[in-house]
C-alpha cells in the first residue's frame, strides 16, 4: 500500500516536469544560454540583394575563447539550403572567390568575415530581404557545438537619387 502511494507521487512529478519542458523545446527564439560557449559570435549581418539577384553574403566576427581549435564545417539558414564559405583572393590582379570547405577558428583567435575577405555566401535566395529585418544563421563545428546567430538585414547601398529634387 505504501509502495503504491510513492509510485503515484513519482509519476505525477514526472508528468508536471514534462509539461514544463514542452514550451522551451518549441521556442523559436535563439536562447544564448543553451548554446555551447567556445565560440562568441558578434556583429552578424546579411546584405540585401539587388532585384533579380539570388545570391548574397553574410558577415560576422567569430572569437574562440577556449584553448582548443574549432573548425566551422557548415552553415544552415531558414532562407536557403545552399550556403558556402568563401574567401576573396587576388589572382593575377583579379579578385577571385574561392570556396573553403571549412574555416579554422584557432584557440584564442578571432576571425572576421568581412567584405573583400572571408564571407558566408547564400545561394538560391527566393525571398527578398528587407533592410532592417532580422533572420538567423546556424554554424556547425567539428568539436565545439552548433551556434545560432541573429543576422541583421542591411542594405548594400543607401539610395541617394531621391535626394535630388
Give how many residues touch Cu ion by CB under 5 A: 3
Chain-centre distance for alpha carbon 130: 18
Minimum Å distance from CB 136 to Cu ion?
Answer: 20
Which residues does 158 contact at the CB level (< 8 Å), separation at least 6?
Answer: none
Give the span between the Cα atoms of 84 and 113, in whole angstroms.
13
| Nearer to Cu ion among residue 55 and residue 106 (C-beta) | 55
- Mark 51-90 with x for binding to Cu ion (rule: CB under 5 A) and - for no binding: -----------------------------------x----
Q: Look up residue 80 and give its DSSP letter.
A: B
Site for Cu ion in 92-111 (CB under 5 A): 97
| Using rule CB under 5 A, residue 47 touches Cu ion | no
**CB nearest Cu ion: which residue?**
86
| Nearer to Cu ion among residue 97 and residue 104 (C-beta) | 97
33 grid coordinates: 544560454
User: Which range in 36-44, 119-127, 135-143, 157-165 contacts Cu ion by CB under 5 A?
Assistant: 119-127
Give the span between the Cα atoms of 105 and 5, in whole angstroms.
55
Minimum Å distance from CB 114 to Cu ion?
Answer: 12
User: Which backbone phi and psi does 51 adopt, to 5 degrees?
Assistant: -55, 135
108 grid coordinates: 584564442
Name the site residues for Cu ion (rule: CB under 5 A). 86, 97, 121
Amino acid at each position: 500500500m505504501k509502495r503504491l502511494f510513492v509510485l503515484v507521487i513519482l509519476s505525477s512529478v514526472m508528468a508536471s516536469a514534462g509539461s514544463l519542458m514542452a514550451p522551451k523545446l518549441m521556442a523559436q527564439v535563439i536562447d544564448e544560454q543553451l548554446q555551447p560557449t567556445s565560440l562568441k559570435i558578434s556583429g552578424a549581418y546579411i546584405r540585401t540583394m539587388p532585384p533579380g539577384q539570388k545570391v548574397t553574403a553574410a558577415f560576422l566576427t567569430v572569437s574562440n575563447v577556449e584553448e582548443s581549435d574549432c573548425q566551422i564545417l557548415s552553415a544552415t539558414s531558414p532562407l536557403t539550403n545552399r550556403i558556402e564559405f568563401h574567401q576573396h583572393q587576388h589572382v593575377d590582379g583579379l579578385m577571385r572567390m574561392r570556396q573553403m570547405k571549412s574555416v579554422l577558428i584557432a584557440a584564442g583567435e578571432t576571425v572576421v568575415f568581412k567584405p573583400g575577405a572571408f564571407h558566408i555566401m547564400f545561394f538560391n535566395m527566393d525571398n527578398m530581404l528587407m533592410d532592417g529585418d532580422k533572420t538567423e544563421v546556424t554554424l556547425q563545428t567539428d568539436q565545439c557545438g552548433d551556434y545560432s546567430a541573429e543576422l541583421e538585414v542591411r542594405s548594400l547601398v543607401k539610395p541617394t537619387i531621391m535626394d535630388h529634387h
